[in-house]
A and B are shown apart, each in its own frame.
Chain A
């Protein structure tokens, strides 16, 4: 029996390929997109061309025949250089395409997955609402089946939806209340709404603190009608579906956060070696060395955490707690590393043209999206058998 934490050769090759791509294609251009709050279509097209959007899906649907671990490796390497493109991939795959792959009918898979896998189209997942985020059971958006026309009629508002308003957005999977159980609790279902459907309005992009080269919008549905066949999976199973999607998504966000933390180490080490103060590089000072050692330690630990959760997922073992641990830890250390990296860079760290300034702005959302740090602690406590 062998115990080996190292990556198999082909995963290492994928990691290196994405590392090279991020260095050659993303790094030189992303600052400009970020500064102007523009969606980097040309970079996303290249990501599609190299198959990143199809990573965890089987070849029969246009995928790369990889798995969730491979996706997370790619996310970490992208986020080392930039989080906007990483979250575009994360949301496109994990929230856009994955629900269709996991819960969709054969027909829905054949219709959507090949174009989502190639990056020709982006998918989005509309869960969060203005009055309900972590408490997803409080969904207010409704979908009523009009039996006369055999259509869902959707009404409501969704907010903070990634990838929902780009020129290449193909669909949004929306969660909506489709009925009430005997005890009066809302029953939630997921429904596919293609972009451009009448009654489905996408608002202008938000002005965000970070992730400025990614697309995030508010969506509204006013008597928006889609065919009954657009129901994703079974009726009233929406709640269970998105819990599964969010559990997986946490591992992806954890990999992304680890990438950001690593990017902070990369930039800071190279800056500390070259920046001179008082006649020597600042990296010769123990105060800086210890900061960097701690940053490296945190990043390494975060990486082990997401890889552990991802490997459990791959082996079909329970991974809820490990995903929450990984997401909680890596997002918090991403914020810490970004703060320290900015500090090491001094005044330059406050200038938008320096990657670490971008990292600092992009880090905070990691403690909020896909379940806040508080929600992760709640989940972990529950897994420890503690109840409110």
Chain B
């Protein structure tokens, strides 16, 4: 039977753009171009590699987001994913991570899965909690923050690199994994991939398709609330160390003071 892989991806504002919050303190999506979160590209790449190794695999790429989020799906399809699922509903505006994990979990169950692959975090919210929330909601094992991942004999194995040690982990499928930016550079879509992506199926779902009530998601259903947001203050001038024989020591003292060493 074919290995069913679902990659959960996020459409985020371009991190190189000038990003702002809207009046209700949600992300202002109109002010800056959006794209497939770069950290999720690693997840798509690992899913593609797992599928290439498997005899028979099918990759579904899934996102929850506004109309424009289709761009993120199209990018993943161009890279080689087989089909896409887009959950879009006006009531989703302002949904927090808990709410998003509910929608993703329902959509993943709707699609059917053996393995869910996520990036390590989004490049906008950067919370990195979704893989764990998803595993909990789906009731399956989680193997997170992998820099190497493999699927063999109904198991997923991988390596998680910490500061002090590397762990070799393993879980029975079905499972949820997340991969880091050390897992291997994502491929660039080829023109053939871009052309093929046009013909691939993108399924659109809304909350009622997934049996989710409006008050479980959105700003009203959020468990976390943003009270205020302030622009980061402009960068200050910095400290100039002039070397008069003691430069090295001064640098070390500065780094120690900033708790870098």
Kindly identify which residue among B74, B188, B191, B198 contacts A65, using a CB–CB cutoff of 8 Å: B191
Contact with B along A4-16 (1 / 0, CB 8 A): 0000001001100
Contact with A along B158-192 (1 / 0, CB 8 A): 00000000000000000000000000000111111
Kindly identify which residue among A20, A46, A49, A51 contacts B192, using a CB–CB cutoff of 8 Å: A51
- CB-CB < 8 A to A13: which residues of B? 74, 78, 189, 194
User: How far is A46 from B185 in the complex, measured between Cα atoms in Å?
Assistant: 11
Chain A proximity of B247: nearest CB distance (Å): 26
**A20 nearest in chain B by CB position:** B188
User: How far is A54 from B78 in the complex, measured between Cα atoms in Å?
Assistant: 16
- CB-CB < 8 A to B198: which residues of A? 10
Chain A proximity of B187: nearest CB distance (Å): 7
Pairwise interchain contact B189-A17, C-beta atoms closer than 8 A: yes
Q: Which one of B187, B193, B194 has the greatest number of beta carbons of chain A within 10 Å?
A: B194
Q: Which one of A17, A55, A59 has the greatest number of beta carbons of chain B within 10 Å?
A: A17
Q: Is the interface of A mostly helix, strand, loop or mixed?
A: helix
User: How far is A203 from B192 in the complex, measured between Cα atoms in Å?
Assistant: 37
Pairwise interchain contact B189-A64, C-beta atoms closer than 8 A: no
Q: CB of B195 within 8 A of chain A? A: yes
Chain A proximity of B234: nearest CB distance (Å): 16
Chain A proximity of B135: nearest CB distance (Å): 32
Kindly identify which residue among A50, A55, A70 contacts B188, using a CB–CB cutoff of 8 Å: A50
Q: CB of A103 within 8 A of chain B? A: no
Q: Is the interface of B mostly helix, strand, loop or mixed?
A: helix
- CB-CB < 8 A to B188: which residues of A? 17, 20-21, 46, 49-50
Within 8 A of A (CB), among B207-248: none
- CB-CB < 8 A to A65: which residues of B? 191-192, 195
Kindly identify which residue among B74, B187, B189, B191 contacts A66, using a CB–CB cutoff of 8 Å: B191
- CB-CB < 8 A to B189: which residues of A? 13, 17, 50
User: How far is A65 from B189 in the complex, measured between Cα atoms in Å?
Assistant: 14
Pairwise interchain contact A55-B191, C-beta atoms closer than 8 A: yes
Kindly identify which residue among A17, A49, A54, A59 contacts B194, using a CB–CB cutoff of 8 Å: A17
A64 and B192 contact, Cβ closer than 8 Å, known pairs A10-B198, A49-B187: yes
Contact with A along B51-88 (1 / 0, CB 8 A): 00000000000000000000000100010000000000
User: How far is A50 from B192 in the complex, measured between Cα atoms in Å?
Assistant: 10
User: How far is A64 from B195 in the complex, measured between Cα atoms in Å?
Assistant: 9
- CB-CB < 8 A to B74: which residues of A? 13
Q: Size range of the interface on A?
A: 10 to 19
Residue total for B at the interface (Cβ-Cβ under 8 A): 12
Chain B proximity of A28: nearest CB distance (Å): 13
Chain A proximity of B260: nearest CB distance (Å): 25
**B193 nearest in chain A by CB position:** A51
Chain B proximity of A255: nearest CB distance (Å): 15
Contact with B along A269-303 (1 / 0, CB 8 A): 00000000000000000000000000000000000
Contact with B along A46-58 (1 / 0, CB 8 A): 1001110011000
- CB-CB < 8 A to A17: which residues of B? 78, 188-189, 194
Chain A proximity of B48: nearest CB distance (Å): 13
Chain B proximity of A119: nearest CB distance (Å): 11
Pairwise interchain contact B191-A64, C-beta atoms closer than 8 A: yes
- CB-CB < 8 A to B193: which residues of A? 51
Q: Which one of B189, B190, B191, B192 has the greatest number of beta carbons of chain A within 10 Å?
A: B191
Pairwise interchain contact A10-B194, C-beta atoms closer than 8 A: yes
**B198 nearest in chain A by CB position:** A10
- CB-CB < 8 A to A50: which residues of B? 187-190
Pairwise interchain contact A14-B187, C-beta atoms closer than 8 A: no
- CB-CB < 8 A to A49: which residues of B? 187-188
**B75 nearest in chain A by CB position:** A13
**A70 nearest in chain B by CB position:** B191
User: How far is A67 from B11 in the complex, measured between Cα atoms in Å?
Assistant: 31
**B188 nearest in chain A by CB position:** A50
User: How far is A242 from B198 in the complex, measured between Cα atoms in Å?
Assistant: 36
Chain B proximity of A19: nearest CB distance (Å): 11
- CB-CB < 8 A to B191: which residues of A? 10, 14, 51, 55, 64-66, 70
Chain B proximity of A17: nearest CB distance (Å): 5
Chain A proximity of B200: nearest CB distance (Å): 13
- CB-CB < 8 A to B192: which residues of A? 51, 54, 59, 64-66
Chain A proximity of B28: nearest CB distance (Å): 23
**A65 nearest in chain B by CB position:** B192
User: How far is A20 from B74 in the complex, measured between Cα atoms in Å?
Assistant: 16
Within 8 A of B (CB), among A54-102: 54-55, 59, 64-66, 70
- CB-CB < 8 A to B195: which residues of A? 10, 64-66
- CB-CB < 8 A to A21: which residues of B? 188
Chain B proximity of A341: nearest CB distance (Å): 23
Chain B proximity of A102: nearest CB distance (Å): 20
- CB-CB < 8 A to B187: which residues of A? 49-50
User: How far is A14 from B198 in the complex, measured between Cα atoms in Å?
Assistant: 13
Chain B proximity of A56: nearest CB distance (Å): 9
**B189 nearest in chain A by CB position:** A17
Within 8 A of A (CB), among B9-42: none
Chain B proximity of A368: nearest CB distance (Å): 30
15 A/B residue pairs, CB under 8 Å, sorted by A = A13-B189, A14-B191, A17-B194, A46-B188, A49-B188, A50-B188, A50-B189, A51-B192, A54-B192, A59-B192, A64-B190, A64-B191, A65-B195, A66-B195, A70-B191
Beyond A17-B194, A66-B192, 11 additional pairs, beta carbon < 8 A: A10-B194, A10-B195, A13-B189, A17-B78, A17-B188, A17-B189, A49-B188, A51-B193, A55-B191, A64-B190, A64-B192
Residues on A facing B (Cβ under 8 Å): 10, 13-14, 17, 20-21, 46, 49-51, 54-55, 59, 64-66, 70
**Smallest CB-CB A-B distances: 3 pairs:** A51-B190, A64-B191, A50-B188
